[in-house]
Amino acid sequence: MKRFLTFEKRSAGTSGGVLAIRIVSIAFAVLVTMLLLFVVGKSPRQAGSILYSLFVQPFFSNYGVTDTIKAGIPLIILSIGVSLAFKMKLWNIGAEGQMAAGAIGAAGVAIYFPNLPALPLVLLMAVVSIAAGMLWGAIAGLPKAYLRTNETITTLMLNYIALKLVHALVLGPWRDPQSKGFPMAPVLPAQGWLPSWGNTGIHLGLLLAVILVAVYWFVVARNRWGYEIRVTGESAKAAAYAGIDVKKNIVLVLVVSGAICGLAGMVEFAGRAHRLDVNLTNGMGFTAVIIAWLSRLNPWGVIVMSLFMAGLNNGGGYAQTEGIPSAIATMIQGILLFSVLGFDVLTRYKIRIGGVLIDVDTFRQRRKSKALSAGKGRE
């Protein structure tokens, strides 16, 4: 009996093909969203303005772009941290917790040294948040290297520990007396706020994020340590043959990855949130895992995908002001994400449904050969 649906692994995807698939996937999501809006009884006019606020406003309006960049900053930093670990095939899905740990560190500095002048305060916050992220990375890295624990599980578990720690702190010792009972820590003294550009709210964290992207690119593509990471990620046997200390690198990579994510916690704290509460990390650490995956660990792809995810999230907010329930907004975001991730399969596999073969490269080749024969016809 013939199987109706089969998946076959493709050879490496072409970058042109990947881009085409991303565009198709977004178009598909828009289509499904429209359908959904008609089903819930929106007029074409209303649907149009909802689609506008979902997909156009975050990326093409002044106000939307500013918001998207602000939300993108921590995502970029986190995704870089995650990508570094993924490059060595270390599945660090603990960015959320590492970010929370970093935010706790920064908030602690703000609470215990509120009178420090601007520069020392910011620097100390940065250092402590990095240290906290490193600690979170090391707790997963050391047992991975020496006891062969599974880092996917440990990093995941450490997320909950860090998040619960935030909870305990803002409910207990660090609760702001002026917060009228809300579980949140006091506002960061103004001199500790990262300087921002005009009144846009786009802060120094953007510069830091871009620098980190460049450094990541350099380390992975050009640097000796990056070379070790790449070789180890490709083949453990080759790494041993090259005399690479794999254990040391497991610890080091997870620690550095944690440090970057910890720094993201400080950037979000001092740049945008300005106070610690349970929503500071807001699932961004998990989003970063998706971004790293979709961007194929490519640094420039990380920037694009981070801004995309940030805008998508903001668009959901705008759409609510257009009078759709928040549940529908979330659903639409889900559709888009699902579509992007679903179509991503096409970059890795050929799919055959019944007798129809779906393969990006065949499409491309067909197009090419058509173009070729068309050219010949003209001659």
Between strands 356-358 and 5-9, the pairing is unpaired
How many amino acids of this chain bind other proteins (CB under 8 A)? Answer: 25
Site for other proteins in 224-283 (CB under 8 A): 224, 226-228, 230-231, 234-235, 237-238, 240-243
**How near is the Cβ of 341 to other proteins at its closest, in Å?**
24
Q: State the alpha helices, DSSP H only, in 53-117.
A: 57-60, 62-87, 95-112
Among residues 244 and 278, whose Cβ is nearest to other proteins? 244
- Burial status of residue 86 (CB atoms within 10 A of its CB: 0-12, 13-18, 19 or more): buried
Quote the CA–CA distance of 234 and 277 in Å, as a whole number: 40
Quote the CA–CA distance of 32 and 331 in Å, as a whole number: 11
373 binds other proteins (CB under 8 A): no
Among residues 204 and 246, whose Cβ is nearest to other proteins? 246
What residues contact residue 240 under an 8 Å CB cut-off, 6+ apart?
Answer: 246
**How near is the Cβ of 288 to other proteins at its closest, in Å?**
24
60 binds other proteins (CB under 8 A): no
10 binds other proteins (CB under 8 A): no
What residues contact residue 379 under an 8 Å CB cut-off, 6+ apart?
Answer: none
Site for other proteins in 311-350 (CB under 8 A): 350
- Binding string, 153-172, against other proteins, x = CB under 8 A? --------------------
Among residues 87 and 274, whose Cβ is nearest to other proteins? 87
**How near is the Cβ of 275 to other proteins at its closest, in Å?**
40
188 secondary structure, DSSP code? P
Among residues 7 and 300, whose Cβ is nearest to other proteins? 7
Q: Which of 45, 148, 222, 378 binds other proteins (CB under 8 A)?
A: 222
Handedness of CA 223, 226, 232, 235 (dihedral sign): negative
What residues contact residue 326 under an 8 Å CB cut-off, 6+ apart?
Answer: 316, 320
Among residues 182 and 234, whose Cβ is nearest to other proteins? 234
What residues contact residue 10 under an 8 Å CB cut-off, 6+ apart?
Answer: 347, 348, 349, 350, 359, 360, 361
Q: Where on the chain is the footprint of other proteins (CB under 8 A)?
A: 1-3, 6, 8, 218, 222-224, 226-228, 230-231, 234-235, 237-238, 240-243, 350, 352, 357
